[in-house]
Chain A
Amino acid sequence: MSLQPDQVRTVARLARLALREEDVPAYSRKLSSILDMVEQLNAAQTAGVTPLAHPLDVVQRLRPDEVTEGDQRDRFQSIAPQVENGLYLVPKVIE
C-alpha cells in the first residue's frame, strides 16, 4: 500500500496539519512503509470475530447527575493564547 504525495496532502488537510511542501515526499515514503507493515493484518482469519474496543469486559460506569465541578474559567483561560471578556479569540469566522 503506498500513499502518494497527493493523498498525503489530503490526509494532512483532514488532520489539520500544515506540511512543508519539501517534507511531503518523506512523509509519503514513511507512511507507505507503515501501511505496508499494517497490510500483514490481511492474512488474519477474522470472519465472525467480534471487534475488541476495550481490553476489559466492563460496561461504561454512570455517575449520579450532580454538579461536581465549579467554575474555573479564569484559571483555565490564564493559559490560553488569546482571550477577551472570558471568551477565546480566534480569527474572524463569520463575515
Chain B
Amino acid sequence: MHNQSLKQLAASLRERKFSSRELTQHYLDRIAKLDPKASGGINSFITVCESQALAQADAADARLAKGDAAPLLGIPLAQKDIFCTQGVKTSCGSKMLDNFIAPYDATAVQKLNAAGMPMLGKTNMDEFAMGSSNETSFYGPVKNPWDHGRVPGGSSGGSAAAVTAGLAPVATGTDTGGSIRQPAALCGISGIKPTYGRVSRYGMIAFASSLDQGGVFARSAEDCALVLQAMAGFDTRDSTSLDVPVPDYAADLGQSLKGQRIGLPKEYFADGLDPGVRAAIEEAVKVYESLGAQIREISLPNTQLAVPTYYVVAPAEASSNLARFDGVRYGHRCDSPKDLMDLYTRSRGEGFGSEVQRRIMVGTYVLSAGYYDAYYLKAQQVRRLIADDFKKAFDSVDLILGPTTTTPAFGLGEKFDDPVAMYLNDIYTISANLAGLPGMSIPAGFVGGLPVGLQLLGNHFQEAKLLAAAHQYQQATDWHIRRPEGY
C-alpha cells in the first residue's frame, strides 16, 4: 500500500480494496516498526496520534460510503510539528514547547482535516525550524533512510524522512531558507515551497515571518500538486496571505515543456558544487532539452550575498518572534523564579537550545542601537538586489533550474559544531525565500548511493508551472520511484 501514488490510493479506497482505517493502520504499524529511536528507528515522529488518526479514518470511511468525492478523502498524512494541532502536543522541536498542547488548529491543518486526511502524527524537526540537518531538535536527530549515518536535511527532516521511508504518503513542511527543498533533495523525494503568502501562516509557529512558507513533501510532483491544492488559499487570519485565486494544479500537470525557456544560473554551477551532483543535474538538463525546453545560461550576480543577507534578516525576525516565549502564558517555566527578570531569563535559557539562542542573539545584536543601519538596513537593501536579480532573470526565462544542494546528504555530526558551514548548505535555496518565489526539489539521480536533488524556481504565483515541469520530468525518468532498501 505504501508504494502507491495518492491517485492510486484514492482509487483503491473507492473500489473498497481497503478502507481508510486499514490504510491508516498500515502506516501506524510501519511507524511502530521502523520509527522508534529506542529500537534503532529513524526518529521521524515526535508524536504519533494513533487513536485520533483511526477515528479520523472511520469518519473518512463513512464519508466514502456516502460517495463523497473529496479527492484526498481517507488518505493519511503527517504534519510537521510546527503546525498547531488542537489538543495535540505541538513542540516545534523545542524543550520550550515540550508541554504545549495547542489550543487551536493552524489553517493548513484545518484545511487538510476538512479534506478528510487522518493525521498520523507530528514530525521531528530542527528546533523552531532553525537548522539544516534536524540535529538541533530537542527530540534527537532523524536518520536518513538511505544511510542511517547521515542527516535527512532540515529543518523539516522528520517529514522528509517519514515520506521517504513510507511511514506516511505525504507530509507537510515549512521552508524559511530551504527547509522543504533541502531535505527533499537529501532524502530523494519531491517537495514544494509555494510563493510566499500562498499557504496561510496562521497557526504555523513563526520563525522569520517575511520568509516562512508552508508546503508539501510527497513521492511525486503529482502528489505534491494534490495536497498543495488542499492547503493553499487566502486566509483572513494571516495578514500576509495572498488574496489571489489558486489554479487547479493537477489539471495543469500535463502542460508541455515545448518552447519553455529554462535558465541555468551560472553561479549555481560554480566552484563548491560536488562533481557527482553536477553530472546528475547536467543529465537532467538533457532530459529537459529532449522534452522540448530551451535551455539558456543566466546570471544571478548577487547569489553569494544570499546567505549573509539571510543571516541578518532571519535572526532579526526570529529574535522578535521568539520574544513571546516568556514563561508566563504557555511553554516552559523555570522552577521558583526569584523575580520577573529571573523568570524570563532562566525560562528562556533552559527552554531554548544553543542554535536557537545563537540566532536570537545575532538578531538582538543586529537590531540593537548603533548597529541597525550597518546590518539590518544593509541586509534589506541587498535583499532587494537579490530579488531584482530574479526579476531580471524572469524577463528572459520561464523557469530556473539548478542543483538544490552542493552535495548529497552529509554525515550526522559532521557540520554540527560549525554553524557557518551548516548555513552554507542553503546557498542555492535561500534566495527564493528572500525574493518570495516558489521553488521545488525533485530527485534527479544518485551519487555514491545517495539521492541528488534538482531545484526548479519559478516567478511569483507560478507553482503550476513548477509542478508541471517536475511532473513532465518524472514521466520521462524514474528517479522519484526509487526507494531505500528495507523500506
Contact = CB atoms under 8 A, between A and B. Distances in A.
A91 B342 contact: yes
Interface string A13-33: 111111110010001001101
Interface stretch (B110-118, B220-228, B306-314): B306-314
A49 to B, nearest CB: 4
A20 B195 CA distance: 41
A51 interface: yes
Contacts of B420: 33-34, 36-37
Contacts of B342: 18, 91
A69 B352 CA distance: 31
Interface in B285-330: 302, 304-305, 307-309, 311-312, 319, 323, 326-330
A67 interface: no
A8 B337 CA distance: 23
B362 A31 contact: yes
A19 B211 CA distance: 28
A5 B368 CA distance: 17
Contacts of B365: 3, 11, 31, 35
B377 A51 contact: yes
Contacts, number: 175
A72 B377 CA distance: 39
From DSSP, what is the main secondary structure of chain A's interface residues?
A: loop
Interface string B368-389: 1000000101111111110100
B327 to A, nearest CB: 7
Contact of B348 (A18, A33, A44): A18
Interface string A41-61: 111101001111111101011
A70 interface: no
A38 B100 CA distance: 34
Given A30-B358, A46-B378, A49-B381, A15 B103 contact: no
Given A15-B360, A37-B311, A55 B196 contact: yes
Given A19-B349, A91-B340, A52 B380 contact: yes
B312 A41 contact: yes
Interface magnitude class on chain A: 35 or more
Nearest to A15: B364
Given A40-B304, A50-B384, A17 B345 contact: yes
A56 B103 contact: no
Contacts of B343: 90-91
A84 to B, nearest CB: 13
Given A15-B361, A27-B358, A80-B328, A41 B379 contact: yes
A8 B362 contact: no
Contact of B305 (A3, A44, A49, A52): A44
A44 B301 CA distance: 11
Interface in B332-348: 333, 337-346, 348
A76 B329 contact: yes
Contacts of A85: none
B409 interface: no
Interface in B377-436: 377-385, 387, 418-420, 423, 433-436
Contact of B361 (A31, A76, A79): A31
B242 interface: yes
Contacts of B305: 40-41, 43-44
B239 A60 contact: yes
B210 interface: yes
A44 B382 contact: yes
Contact of B197 (A43, A56, A92): A56
Contacts of A79: 99-101, 103, 330
Given A37-B420, A51-B381, A61 B243 contact: yes
A50 B388 CA distance: 11
A31 B309 CA distance: 15
Nearest to B334: A18
A41 B236 contact: no
A14 to B, nearest CB: 5
A34 B311 contact: yes
B353 to A, nearest CB: 11
Given A46-B385, A51-B381, A56-B197, A17 B357 contact: yes
Interface of A: 3, 8, 11-20, 23, 27, 30-31, 33-44, 46, 49-56, 58, 60-61, 63, 72, 75-76, 78-82, 88, 90-93
30 contacts: A11-B364, A16-B348, A31-B361, A34-B358, A34-B420, A36-B420, A37-B307, A40-B305, A40-B308, A41-B382, A42-B378, A46-B378, A46-B381, A49-B381, A49-B382, A51-B381, A52-B387, A53-B380, A54-B436, A55-B211, A55-B437, A56-B242, A56-B460, A79-B330, A80-B330, A81-B333, A88-B328, A90-B343, A91-B338, A91-B340
Interface of B: 99-101, 103, 195-197, 210-211, 236, 239-240, 242-243, 302, 304-305, 307-309, 311-312, 319, 323, 326-330, 333, 337-346, 348-350, 352, 354, 357-358, 360-366, 368, 375, 377-385, 387, 418-420, 423, 433-437, 460
